Structure 1
C-alpha cells in the first residue's frame, strides 16, 4: 500500500460558489421569516387582492365595467392586472427594508448590501407567482376565463414585471437607506401608482393627451402585455411598447447596481 503524505488541504471556492451559498442561506432565512413567523402572513397575501376584487366588482355593477374593455371579461382582466401590479409593488417595497433588516449580516465579508435585496425580491416573486396560480385555479373552478390563451406570452409578461420589480427594488433600497424620509414618500405613492397603471379601469378611456403621459409609466406596458397573453383578442392600450418597457427596466437595474456599488460602504455603515 502506498503511503501518501498529504498535508492539510484548504478548501478553495470560486466567488460564484460563495455568492450562491450566501444567497441560499439568506433565502432560507427570509422564507422561514416571511411564511412562518407571522401566522397571518399568508392570509393577508391572499385576502388583500380578494378584498380589492370584491370592492371593484361591486363598483362594476354600477358602471358596467364589461362595456369598457374590448374582448376581455372584466373580472379576469382585473385579476391579471392586479396580480401583475402587486408583483412590481412588492419588489419595490420589499427592497426598501432589505438593507436595514440585515445589517448584522454585513459583519461577514461575504455578504454585501445587494444580497438581501435580490434575495427578498426573488422570494417575493416566488410567493406572488404561487398566489397567482391559486387565483387562476380558483377562478377556473368558479367558471372564470383565467386560462391564458398564449401561455408563453403570459409568462414572459409576468417575468418582465418581475424584472421591473427588481430594478425598482435595487434603486429604492439605496434611496430609502440613505434618505429614510424618501421611503415614506415611496410608500405613499403606492396607491396613486395603482390607479394610474390601469389596474382597475382601462386607460383607453382616458383622453389621448393624458394617455401619452400615463404610458410613460412602464407598469401599464407590462400589464397590457400580460393581459394580452391571457386574452389573445384583447385590444391593448394605445401606445403600449415592450421596447420602452425593457429600456426603462434595464436602465433601472443598471442604475440600481451602480448605486449599490457606489454607496456600498455607506450602506454597510448605516
Structure 2
C-alpha cells in the first residue's frame, strides 16, 4: 500500500502564498519594458516632486523638533505604502479570479499576498530614500529604530486590513471603487503628510485626531527625530485598535462572503 503524503493547512497556505507572490511579482515586473524600474521610480519621483513643490512655494518650513525635508519624506513614503496597499489590494480578487478554480486558493489569499508585495516594495523604497537623502546631507537615520520599524509594520498591517474590507466592497459593488479612490485625496492632507497639524486651529485638531493615519504618520516621525513634538493626543493604542480591528473585520467579511466573492 503506497504511503500518502499529507500536508497540513498551514503548509498548503504557505505554498499558495508563495506561488501567488511570485505570480504577482512577475506580473508587476514584466508589465512592460520599464515596469521594473517604474516600481521604484514612481514613489521616489512622487516624493521628490512634493519636496520640490513645498520647498518652492511652501511658507511653513519650520517643524518643531525635526528637519523639514526628512519630515516630509517620511510622511509621504508611509502614506504611499498605505494608499498602494488599499487601492491595489482591493482589486486583487477580480485580478486573480481565474485562480479560484483551484480549491486551495481563496479570495483572501490574493489580497494578503498583493498587500505583502506592496509592503516589500515600499520597504525597499524607504531604505533607498534614507540612503539617498543621507548622502545629500539630510539626517534621515531613525533615532529609535525599533519604534520606527514597529510603526512601519503596524501601517503595513493596517493597509492590509483596510484592503481586506474594501476588496469585499469593490468586488460586490464595483461602482464603489470610484468613491474609495476619491477619499484618498483629502485623507492625504488630513493625515499631516504635507502640513504640520500643530499649525491647525485647536478645534480642528480634535476632529483630525479621529483619523488613524494621522497617528501613524506622527508616531513614525517620532521614531526618527529625537526632539520631535507630535500633535497632542497621538496614541499608539488608538492606532493599534484600528489595525487589529480592520484585520479582524476584513477577515470576517472574507469568510462571510467567500462564496459570493468567488462566484461574482
Q: TM-score range by the shorter chain?
A: over 0.9
Shift of 1:50: 2.7
Q: After superposition, what is the alpha-carbon deviation per residue over 1:6-39, rounded to whole angstroms, capped at 9, x for unaligned? A: x222221111111111111111111111123233
The corresponding residue for 2:90 is: 96
Contact 1:96–1:169, Cα closer than 8 Å, also in 2: yes
Q: CA deviation at 1:208?
A: 1.3
Determine if contact 1:85/1:194 at 8 Å carries over to the other structure: yes
Q: Paired residue for 1:74?
A: 68
* Count of paired positions: 263
Alignment match, 1:220 = 214
Aligned to 1:154: 148
> Which of 84, 106, 113 is the equivalent residue of 2:78?
84
Deviations 1:131-154 (A, max 9, x none): 111111111111111111111111
Q: Does 1:53 align with 2:55?
A: no
Instruction: Report the secondary structure of 1:201's partner residue.
Output: coil
Structure 2: runs of 5+ lacking an equivalent: none
Question: How many Å separate the matches in 2 of 1:11 and 1:124?
Answer: 34
Matched, 1:249 2:238: no
Structure 1 counterpart SS, 2:32: coil
CA distance in 2, matches of 1:191, 1:255: 24
Distance in 2 (alpha carbons) for counterparts of 1:34 and 1:159? 23
Deviation of 1:52 after TM superposition, in Å, equals: 4.4
- Aligned 8 A contact 2:164 2:247 in 1: yes
Structure 1: any 5+ residue segments left out of the alignment?
1-6
Task: Check the 8 A contact 1:53/1:78 in 2, yes or no.
Answer: no
Partner of 1:65, secondary structure, is: coil
TM-score (norm 2): 0.95
Is 1:209 matched with 2:183? no
**Is the 8 Å Cα contact of residues 172 and 261 (structure 2) preserved in structure 1?**
yes
